[in-house]
Structure 1
Amino acid sequence: MIIKKNKEINTKKYVDLMGTVGTMGMHMVTHPAVGAVVGYFLDDWLGTKPWLFITFLILGVIAGFKAVFVDTQKILRNQEKQDAERNGRKD
């Protein structure tokens, strides 16, 4: 019975981790795509082709990497917290 409870806890932890990793992959696709679309329509509206497209695409790539960095920091904080609890320390 105790083993079954531990398996459920570990499974939930890994499912949460896989969800976060999947979200990180989506950040790398959606942020540049949104930046490119916004830049394209602003270029079309203001007649500044291709400068706003390029600018917003680069900003989207930067935003994607920042989102991945934030998610990675969240995973690392959770891992450090679990390690501290496992070793009997509380920070």
Structure 2
Amino acid sequence: MKNRKPIVDLVVDVGTLGTHMVVCTFVGLAMGYYLDKWLGTKPVMLLIFLFIGIAAGFKNVYEQAQRLQRRTEMPDDKDNSED
């Protein structure tokens, strides 16, 4: 049972990568839609905030992947230094 915890943690962390991308994109899309509705600038704000949301999603995915990579490499470095 102890061996399954790192696997479950890894699956959860990988699942958050996709969630970051989807949530950021939809938040940008929603912000652009409501700003267009409020300001009367039909597709302009929607497109701008959609691209901002996509860029933010990629940034979050990249940062999460870096954290995940550092965390998975740490135990290997400890084991190699003890040899």
- Give TM-score scaled by structure 2 length: 0.91
**Is the radius of gyration larger for structure 1 or structure 2?**
1
Unaligned runs of 5+ in 2: none
Report the equivalent of 2:4. Answer: 11
Report the equivalent of 1:42. Answer: 35
Superposition CA RMSD, Å? 1.2
User: Does 2:80 correspond to 1:87?
Assistant: yes
Report the equivalent of 2:14. Answer: 21
Unaligned runs of 5+ in 1: 1-6
- Give TM-score scaled by structure 1 length: 0.84
Q: Which runs of 4+ in 1 moved over 6 A?
A: none
User: Which structure's relative contact order is higher, taking Cα pairs within 8 Å and 6+ residues apart?
Assistant: 2
Report the equivalent of 1:33. Answer: 26
Q: Distance in 2 between matches of 1:86 and 1:18?
A: 23
Identity of aligned residues (%): 45
Q: May I ask how many residue pairs the two structures share in their alignment?
A: 82
